[in-house]
């Protein structure tokens, strides 16, 4: 009891100024370290737990207490929610089943729900039929179905309360993301950047499902919800109006992508939500030039800070103007309070798709740090801190090299040096823990024709493992790293055979957890990265490791079930650039290590 009070006080201290805001129920739940009430653990996206029953000294004894097969194949992203009612709430990829499982009764199904969806949505999902999980608030569960239907379920009974359509899969719009509840609204983005859709973030009323606001990623200011006089970019008002139209060739913004399909984070104190937008339409940069010159294609690959009440944009930062590599800018924006040059700052840190680790001021959008966390990164040498723009390396510019030219050895690959797998941040160490990809690519743009509902890609790519440095594992395609977001330096890294496509967890037990594509759950010493424990689940892990406490016992829960882009791109193994045409790949094929199948595994220490 004393211990619990301690936790609550600590949490209240951290969030003292914020109690008047946010969704009260969701905020209270996430302030209680016994619960895992939102996919990223808290609004700030930190995936950190104060629980320390499982710690560095005893983690070696951790064992599986029960497992539950979801009965669904294909990639299982996201993870279980625990809100203190003795149940775990989980979801699956298409057909997006939802299960309430009895935690005390070895996962007995309390209720289940299965939406009725058009299976024609399957082929328009670019990178597997994944779903990143449920959201919870005030006795309701929210799920974004693959077919763009956002639903609210009664958490007690599984009964459908309301449903609303957020898009049209017949034009290539789909959904993979986890919604986020802020105040009395549910926020939902959209997927379909490979189908020439026009991305948007939309808020729906939690009670009724009625649409409250929608902010597009491209197009005129009144549809993006930008005011050029008040919305800032790198701390200054944007000034010029309708950049979301004028930075594109005629009409191309209408199929300009910018799909916000990743995670949304929220600062209750500043009352701002943060998310990033995806790639700008076709992957062929030539088709996005204006008067024969590269154009910024705003606001693709941009961090948006919006007022959750009406969607107004407070500030924007475009990480990659005029994308030439499909560097989707959707990676999570971790909200962290840090000391920067002797001052306390409200920071926003990104382990980005581009291979750069960014640190921004989340109040103003000012760029503070941009350093490579994946040292092989070569598409840009560095960032100009004045303009916030990358200094692109001509040799790896697929635009400069030209249409129908194969630009080779670009790092990282279009999968990104990190994809959707969410990172963790420990306020105790001040470090970010992230699974990353060490893969490079050859990229050849070609002219793509837009046909509604058909892929609008316009580039072909082949991938190969990134070059290794001294001491790294031969042929490795991933790592798990500890990153100092202020110094812009990697503190330690552990190499993995395959890309690390699972979400990380950091705990007060001095541990960091992650999953591997072969199917291991691993616990490492948070200070050194030394492996302390592993367990082999039945299939590769692209889900996130979550933790919670029930009746005085700390549990760990993780969904395994290989898939996602990793399951597509790595299944047959990557090409060895040294091999001749048709040669057998010298690198590991994921298909030799793991096969499909969704399973939830729950772990605890022995009694």
Partner 1 sequence: MTVFARSCRGILSLFAVLLTLGLVQAGQADEDRITGEAPGAFVVEDGKVDPDTYEGYIIYTRVCMACHGPDGLGSSFAPNLVRAVERRGWENFAGTIASGREVQPGQVMPSFADDPNVMGNIPKIFSYLRARGEGGLGRGRPKIIESMQEQDEESAEKGAEEEEKDEAAEEANAE
What is the C-alpha separation between 590 and 586, in angstroms, rounded? 13
Among 88, 562, 599, 600, the residue binding partner 1 under the rule CB under 8 A is: 562
Among all chains, which residue has been given the structure tokens 């969410």?
A: 422
Q: If you write DSSP's letter for every residue of 439-494 in order, what string do you get?
A: EEEEEEE------TTS----EEEEEEEPPP-TTSPTT--EEEEEEETTTTEEEEEE
Contact (Cβ atoms closer than 8 angstroms) between residue 60 and residue 278: no
Contact (Cβ atoms closer than 8 angstroms) between residue 109 and residue 97: no
Contact (Cβ atoms closer than 8 angstroms) between residue 273 and residue 186: no
Bridge partners of 464, per DSSP, are 440
Among all chains, which residue has been given the structure tokens 């399973």?
A: 599
Tell me: does residue 119 bind partner 1 (CB under 8 A).
Answer: yes
Bridge partners of 351, per DSSP, are 357
Name which of 90 and 225 has its Cβ closer to partner 1. Answer: 90
Tell me: does residue 519 bind partner 1 (CB under 8 A).
Answer: no
DSSP classification of residue 466: P
What is the C-alpha separation between 446 and 284, in angstroms, rounded? 6
Tell me: does residue 444 bind partner 1 (CB under 8 A).
Answer: yes
Q: How far is the CB of 70 from partner 1 (least distance, A)?
A: 10
Among 58, 289, 454, 472, the residue binding partner 1 under the rule CB under 8 A is: 454
Tell me: does residue 457 bind partner 1 (CB under 8 A).
Answer: yes
Say how many residues make up the chain.
Answer: 607
Among 36, 48, 89, 94, the residue binding partner 1 under the rule CB under 8 A is: 94
168-227 binders of partner 1 (CB under 8 A):
194
Q: How far is the CB of 42 from partner 1 (least distance, A)?
A: 32
Q: Which residues of 232-245 are buried (b: 16+ CB within 10 A; e: fewer)?
A: bbbeeebeeebbbb
382-401 binders of partner 1 (CB under 8 A):
none
Region near partner 1 per CB under 8 A, out of 27-35, 147-155, 460-468, 477-485: 460-468
Region near partner 1 per CB under 8 A, out of 135-143, 225-233, 440-448, 478-486: 440-448
Q: In a 3-state reduction of DSSP, which class is residue 570?
A: coil
Among 15, 73, 88, 599, the residue binding partner 1 under the rule CB under 8 A is: 73
Name every residue whose Cβ is closer than 8 Å to that of residue 451 and which is 6 or more positions away in sequence. none
Region near partner 1 per CB under 8 A, out of 91-99, 371-379, 467-475, 476-484: 91-99
Q: If you write DSSP's letter for every residue of 212-252 in order, what string do you get?
A: EEEEESSS-HHHHT--TTT-EETTEE--SS-HHHHTSSTTG
Tell me: does residue 95 bind partner 1 (CB under 8 A).
Answer: yes
Set 147, 221, 323, 326: catalytic member: 326
List the Cα angle 75/76/79 in 5-degree steps. Answer: 160
32-71 binders of partner 1 (CB under 8 A):
71
Among 394, 582, 606, 607, the residue binding partner 1 under the rule CB under 8 A is: 582
Among 11, 51, 62, 125, the residue binding partner 1 under the rule CB under 8 A is: 125
Phi, psi of 430 (to 5 degrees): 75, 15
Name every residue whose Cβ is closer than 8 Å to that of residue 16 and which is 6 or more positions away in sequence. none
Region near partner 1 per CB under 8 A, out of 89-97, 179-187, 347-355, 478-486: 89-97
Tell me: does residue 446 bind partner 1 (CB under 8 A).
Answer: yes
What is the C-alpha separation between 379 and 112, in angstroms, rounded? 47
Name every residue whose Cβ is closer than 8 Å to that of residue 224 and which is 6 or more positions away in sequence. 215, 216, 217, 218, 244, 299, 313
The question of whether 291 is a catalytic residue gets the answer no
Tell me: does residue 285 bind partner 1 (CB under 8 A).
Answer: no
Q: How many CB atoms lie within 10 A of CB 12?
A: 12
Q: How far is the CB of 11 from partner 1 (least distance, A)?
A: 39
Tell me: does residue 545 bind partner 1 (CB under 8 A).
Answer: no
Region near partner 1 per CB under 8 A, out of 47-55, 226-234, 267-275, 574-582: 574-582
Q: How far is the CB of 596 from partner 1 (least distance, A)?
A: 6
Name which of 160 and 583 has its Cβ closer to partner 1. Answer: 583
Residues with catalytic function: 326
Report the interface residues with partner 1, using CB under 8 A: 71-75, 93-95, 119-120, 122-123, 125-128, 194, 406, 442, 444, 446, 451, 454-455, 457, 460, 462-463, 540, 562-563, 567-569, 571-573, 575, 580-583, 590-591, 594-596
């Amino acid at each position: 009891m004393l211990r619990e009070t301690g936790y609550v006080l600590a949490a209240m201290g951290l969030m003292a100024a914020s109690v008047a805001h946010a969704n009260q129920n969701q905020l209270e739940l996430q302030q209680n370290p016994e619960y895992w009430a939102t996919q990223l653990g808290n609004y700030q996206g930190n995936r950190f737990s104060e629980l320390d029953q499982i710690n560095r000294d005893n983690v070696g004894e951790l064992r599986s207490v029960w497992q539950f097969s979801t009965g669904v194949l294909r990639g299982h992203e996201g993870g279980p929610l625990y809100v203190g009612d003795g149940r775990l709430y989980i979801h699956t990829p298409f057909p997006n089943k939802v299960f309430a499982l009895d935690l005390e009764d070895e996962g007995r199904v309390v209720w289940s729900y299965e939406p009725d969806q058009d299976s024609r949505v399957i082929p328009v999902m670019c990178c597997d039929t994944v779903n990143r999980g449920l959201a919870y608030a005030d006795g309701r569960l929210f799920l974004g179905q693959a077919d763009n239907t956002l639903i609210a379920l009664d958490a007690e009974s599984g009964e459908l309360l309301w449903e609303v359509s957020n898009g049209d899969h017949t034009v290539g719009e789909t959904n993979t993301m986890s919604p986020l509840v802020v105040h009395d609204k549910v926020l939902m983005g959209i997927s379909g950047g490979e189908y020439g859709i026009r991305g948007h973030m939309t808020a729906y009323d939690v009670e009724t499902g009625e649409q409250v606001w929608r902010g597009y990623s491209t197009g005129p200011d009144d549809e993006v919800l930008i005011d050029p006089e008040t919305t800032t970019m790198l701390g200054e008002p944007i000034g010029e109006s309708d950049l979301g139209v004028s930075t594109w060739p005629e009409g191309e913004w209408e199929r300009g992508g910018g799909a916000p399909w990743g995670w949304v984070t929220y600062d209750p104190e500043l009352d701002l939500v943060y998310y990033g937008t995806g790639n700008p339409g076709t992957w062929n940069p030539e088709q996005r030039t204006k008067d024969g010159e590269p154009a910024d294609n705003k606001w693709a690959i941009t961090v948006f800070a919006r007022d959750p009440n009406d969607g107004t944009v407070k500030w924007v930062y475009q990480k990659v103007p005029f994308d030439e590599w499909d560097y989707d800018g959707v990676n999570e924006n971790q909200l962290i309070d840090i000391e920067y040059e002797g001052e306390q700052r409200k920071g926003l840190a990104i382990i980005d798709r581009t291979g750069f680790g960014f640190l921004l001021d989340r109040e103003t959008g000012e760029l503070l740090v941009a350093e490579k966390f994946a040292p092989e990164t070569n598409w840009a040498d560095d960032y100009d801190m004045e303009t916030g723009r990358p200094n692109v390396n001509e040799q790896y510019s697929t635009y400069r090299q030209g249409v129908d030219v194969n630009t080779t050895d670009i790092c990282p690959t279009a999968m990104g040096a990190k994809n959707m797998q969410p990172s963790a941040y420990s306020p105790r160490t001040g470090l970010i823990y992230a699974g990353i990809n060490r893969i490079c690519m050859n990229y050849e743009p070609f002219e793509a024709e837009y046909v509604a509902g058909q892929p609008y890609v316009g580039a072909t790519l082949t991938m190969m493992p990134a070059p290794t440095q001294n001491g790294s594992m031969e042929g490795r395609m991933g790592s798990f790293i500890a990153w100092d977001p202020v110094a812009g330096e990697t503190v330690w890294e552990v190499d993995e055979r395959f890309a690390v496509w699972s979400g990380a967890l950091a705990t007060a037990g001095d541990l960091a957890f992650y999953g591997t594509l072969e199917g291991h759950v691993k616990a490492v010493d948070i200070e050194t990265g030394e492996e302390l424990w592993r367990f082999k689940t039945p299939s590769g892990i692209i889900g996130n490791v979550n933790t919670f406490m029930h009746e005085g016992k700390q549990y760990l829960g993780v969904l395994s079930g290989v898939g996602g882009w990793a399951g597509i791109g790595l299944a047959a193994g990557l090409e060895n650039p040294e091999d001749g045409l048709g040669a057998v790949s010298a690198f590991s094929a994921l298909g030799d290590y793991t096969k499909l199948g969704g399973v939830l595994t729950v772990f605890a220490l022995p009694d």
